[in-house]
């Protein structure tokens, strides 16, 4: 009876070890769904936290650091072994004996590489002005024209937008808010489109106003022409980068760099009053529109001494928490738009992938 029980135990151990060994062959495909979701979530959250922290640092005149996740490589190892031994004797006093054993090993070895944004990479990605074509493509994709121009444009045909930099804060020309409000209404009516004109030298972007509009929309288009100093009879205008247009058939847009965009949005961060009183940071300024009424901030970043419970993104800095409320759809959308800008703007820098050696077992 004892020999029979030992035989059954050996069989069970053999089955378990075989299952472990067979699992090695099918383990890889089963990890894709889990790993992709987990790493995507982790990278997304860390990216949001890094962006908000750098905005807060710029608000305080501190040094921002941008660190990208260059690659994520995960390797797994699963192994198992089984051993057994038995002996039987015919001596009644000694009887028979047997031994058995099983072992398994599992390892999860993620290899994550980081790439700091410095030198030429930083200059290309953060300091190069966003091309005017990208601004109009964002509007064409459905983003609110008023918000896009407030975030990405410094001036259009000499009409200046506001800017909340660290060293200097500049108010907007009163015509600017009237202009973007009219552009928003024209966008809602679908009365404008963009066109790429190809020539032997280069491609040029043109903004085109439709001639099939109602009287109200036509009046809005006429007011925009007048404000920008454009030809009152033309329907198509060439879009260029610059402060001032060279003719009445050009729209000159002085766009901002990504760093300028971040610094401007950082000016809307609400800072603790004691930090302002101690001269650690400048107070948050309120801007007024053409009619004298306050202009809503593009994005609201709050501060509190306690960690918020319901935050879209929150980071600690100087014993305070800075955060965006998860119920603040406007601020969440603008913050996500900022992340989208950084992800899509072409930097022109071509880098080779990092060389990572994974041991084979």
**Per-residue model confidence as pLDDT tens digits over 258-310:** 999 999 999 999 999 999 999 999 888 777 766 777 888 889 999 999 999 99
Point out the least confidently predicted range of 54-58, 139-143, 251-255, 342-346.
342-346
What value does the CA radius of gyration of the chain take, rounded to a whole number of Å? 31
Assess if residue 354 is contained within a domain: no
Assess if residue 352 is contained within a domain: no
Assess if residue 349 is contained within a domain: no
- 102 and 137 assigned to the same domain: no
Q: 112: which strand partners?
A: 72
- 133 and 52 assigned to the same domain: no
Model pLDDT, residue 3: 53
Q: Where on the phi/psi map is residue 159: left (φ > 0), alpha (ψ -120 to 50), or beta?
A: beta
For residue 73, the SS3 value is strand
Question: How many structural domains compose the chain?
Answer: 2
- 91 and 162 assigned to the same domain: no
Tokens of 201: 């030298």
pTM exceeding 0.85: no
Assess if residue 232 is contained within a domain: yes
C-alpha–C-alpha distance, residues 220 and 216, integer Å: 7
Domain that holds residue 172: 123-344
> Can you state the angle between helices 258-266 and 2-59, rounded to 10 degrees?
80
Assess if residue 213 is contained within a domain: yes
* End residue of a domain, out of 89, 116, 143: 116
SS (H, E, C) 310-322: CEEEEEEECCEEE
- 104 and 134 assigned to the same domain: no
Assess if residue 359 is contained within a domain: no
According to the per-residue pLDDT averaged within each range, which of 15-24, 116-125, 350-359 is highest? 116-125
Could you tell me what percent of the chain has a pLDDT over 90? 38
* End residue of a domain, out of 91, 116, 141: 116
Tokens of 185: 């209404």
Assess if residue 53 is contained within a domain: yes
**Closest C-alpha to 210, from 183, 189, 229, 182:** 189
Helix (H), strand (E) at residue 221: helix 215-228
- 108 and 136 assigned to the same domain: no
* End residue of a domain, out of 95, 116, 137: 116
C-alpha–C-alpha distance, residues 53 and 43, integer Å: 15
Assess if residue 335 is contained within a domain: yes
- 248 and 330 assigned to the same domain: yes
pLDDT tens by residue, 1-43: 555 555 555 565 555 555 555 555 555 666 776 777 787 888 8
């Amino acid at each position: 009876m004892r020999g029979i029980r030992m035989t059954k135990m050996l069989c069970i151990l053999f089955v378990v070890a075989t299952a472990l060994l067979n699992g090695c062959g099918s383990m890889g495909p089963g990890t894709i769904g889990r790993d992709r979701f987990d790493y995507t979530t982790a990278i997304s959250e860390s990216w949001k936290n890094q962006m908000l922290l750098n905005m807060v640092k710029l608000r305080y005149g501190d040094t921002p650091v941008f660190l990208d996740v260059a690659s994520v490589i995960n390797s797994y190892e699963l192994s198992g072994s089984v051993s057994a031994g038995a002996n039987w004797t015919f001596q009644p006093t000694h009887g028979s004996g047997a031994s058995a054993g099983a072992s398994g090993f599992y390892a999860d070895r993620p290899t994550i590489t980081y790439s700091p944004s410095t030198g030429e990479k930083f200059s290309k990605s953060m300091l190069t002005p966003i091309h005017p074509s990208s601004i109009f493509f964002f509007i064409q994709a459905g983003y609110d024209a008023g918000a896009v121009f407030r975030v990405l444009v410094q001036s259009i045909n000499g009409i200046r937008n506001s800017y909340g930099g660290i060293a200097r804060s500049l108010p907007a020309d009163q015509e600017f808010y009237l202009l973007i409000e009219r552009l928003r209404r024209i966008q809602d009516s679908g009365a404008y489109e963009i066109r790429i004109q190809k020539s032997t030298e280069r491609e040029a972007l043109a903004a085109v106003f439709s001639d099939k509009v109602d009287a109200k929309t036509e009046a809005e288009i006429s007011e925009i022409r007048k404000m920008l100093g454009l030809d009152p009879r033309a329907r198509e205008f060439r879009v260029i980068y610059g402060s001032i247009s060279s003719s009445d058939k050009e729209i000159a847009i002085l766009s901002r760099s990504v760093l300028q965009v971040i610094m401007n949005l950082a000016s809307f961060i609400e800072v603790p009053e004691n930090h302002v009183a101690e001269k650690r940071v400048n107070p948050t300024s309120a801007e007024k529109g053409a009619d004298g009424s306050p202009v809503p901030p593009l994005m609201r970043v709050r501060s509190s001494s306690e960690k918020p419970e319901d935050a879209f993104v929150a980071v600690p800095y100087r014993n305070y928490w800075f955060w965006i409320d998860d119920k603040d759809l406007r601020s969440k959308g603008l913050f996500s738009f900022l992340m989208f800008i950084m992800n899509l703007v072409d930097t022109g820098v071509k880098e080779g992938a990092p060389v990572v050696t994974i041991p084979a077992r």
